[in-house]
Structures are given as structure tokens and as C-alpha cells.
Amino acid sequence: MKNIKLILPIVLFLGVSVFFFKGLFSDPKNIENVQVKQSFPAFKLHDLMDSDRYYDESSIKGQVTLVNLWGTWCITCRIELPFLTQLKQQGVRVVGIYYDNAADSVFGDVDINKTRKEVSKMLRQLGNPFEFNVYDGKRDLTLDLGVTAAPESFLVDADGTIVWHRRGEINERIWQQELGPLYQSLLSKVEK
């Protein structure tokens, strides 16, 4: 009984210390995306450059695909475009979901022709990694994916299941440490 009285406060103190110590290094912004391990949400959206060509969730299935959410208004997207282009040259399939800045679309519909001009200019300058871009004008797909800001990326396997998600840009380090190995393992699964 006396032992418990001595040990209990020490154990409690250590437990609380470990809890707070871990808190020092935890990132409060790193909120897990709930779509990971779910199948890619259903959608039907037209091509960014061609309003008559439509895509849906089956357009993403069939190959391991990196889905990237971006916009010309997003500065970090500008930074990651060259690296994504590099990945495309290595054979990675990249599909873009383009969405307007919420602040812009508050003032009514954004002029898509202006957007198209900006997009083609930016892709000419920095490289075009995208097989195609869908235009999420109403941002329903963006919401369905639980996106909080641009850029965000999802790795989708050949069955159309989201296996990985990242907030922020994809760069050399992320590719080497996380995304690359995962991509290779998914590829080898497909080949089997």
C-alpha cells in the first residue's frame, strides 16, 4: 500500500511528462485526411481547356495516378510544377484538379477564358505534368476530397482507392522518403 502511494504519483508525473513532451513536437496542422483508404469520390467535371470533354472517377482508375489540386493563384503550386513535370518524365501519371481561389469566386463566376490563358502561360513557363486537368468550378470535388488549401495531392491506386495524401508541395525529399517507395510498391502490385 505504501509502495503504491510512492509509485503512483511518479508514474502519473512521468505519464503527463511524456504526453506534453510529445505535444512539443506534434504539428497541430497535420490533421489526417479522412478520404485516405477510401475510394476516389464520384465526380463528373469537364476539362479545364475544353468544356465539352467530360471526365469522371473512372478516368482516374486503371493506373496508379497522382492527383494534384492546384491553381495559378497558388504560389506553392508554382514551386512544385517543375518537380511534378520531372516525375511525369519518369513515367508517373499526373492528373490535375484545377480550382479557383475562393476569394475570387465570391464575386461571381470566374472568367474561364482568362483562367485558361493564365494556365497555358504558366504551364509553358514551368512545365506541364498533367495528362489532363478537370475544372472544379463549383468546388464540390474539392470539398468531397476534404481539401483545405492548394496544393494538395492524392496518390490513387489502379483500383481507384486513395492510398496517400499530402498537404503542401511535393518535392525531391518527399518523393525520396515517402511517395517514391509507395509509388513503386503500387506499380509492382499492378504488374502482378
Partner 1 sequence: MKKSLIAIGMSISILLAGNAFASTGADTDKQVNQQNQDKQVLEEGIVEHYPFETDEQRRLFKILTEELRCPKCQNQNIADSNAGVAVDLKNKTYQLVKEGKSKQDVIDYMIERYGNFVHYQPPFNWITIWLWLLPGSIVVFMFVSLVKRKSNQQDNANNTSQESDELMAQVEDILASKPSGESQSSGQSQSKGKS
* List of residues contacting partner 1 (CB under 8 A): 28-29, 31-35, 101-103, 106, 139, 142-149
Q: What Rg do the C-alpha atoms of the chain give, in angstroms?
A: 21
Nearest distance in Å: CB 123, partner 1:
22
Counting every residue written for the chain, the total comes to: 192
Identify which of residues 35 and 171 has a Cβ nearer to partner 1 in the complex: 35
Tell me which residue of 179, 77, 51 sits closest to 129, measured CA to CA. Answer: 77
Q: Are 43 and 117 in contact (CB under 8 A)?
A: no
Nearest distance in Å: CB 104, partner 1:
10
Identify which of residues 101 and 184 has a Cβ nearer to partner 1 in the complex: 101
Q: Are 71 and 77 in contact (CB under 8 A)?
A: yes
Identify which of residues 41 and 127 has a Cβ nearer to partner 1 in the complex: 41
Phi, psi of 89 (to 5 degrees): -65, -25
Nearest distance in Å: CB 73, partner 1:
10
Residue for grid cell 476534404: 146
Q: Quote the DSSP letter at residue 146.
A: T
User: Could you tell me how far CA 131 lies from the centroid of its own chain?
Assistant: 16
Nearest distance in Å: CB 139, partner 1:
6
Q: E-assigned strands of 41-184?
A: 44-46, 54-56, 65-70, 93-98, 130-135, 152-156, 162-167
Nearest distance in Å: CB 133, partner 1:
19
State how far the Cα of 116 lies from the Cα of 48, in Å rounded to an integer. 7
Identify which of residues 14 and 34 has a Cβ nearer to partner 1 in the complex: 34
Identify which of residues 6 and 103 has a Cβ nearer to partner 1 in the complex: 103
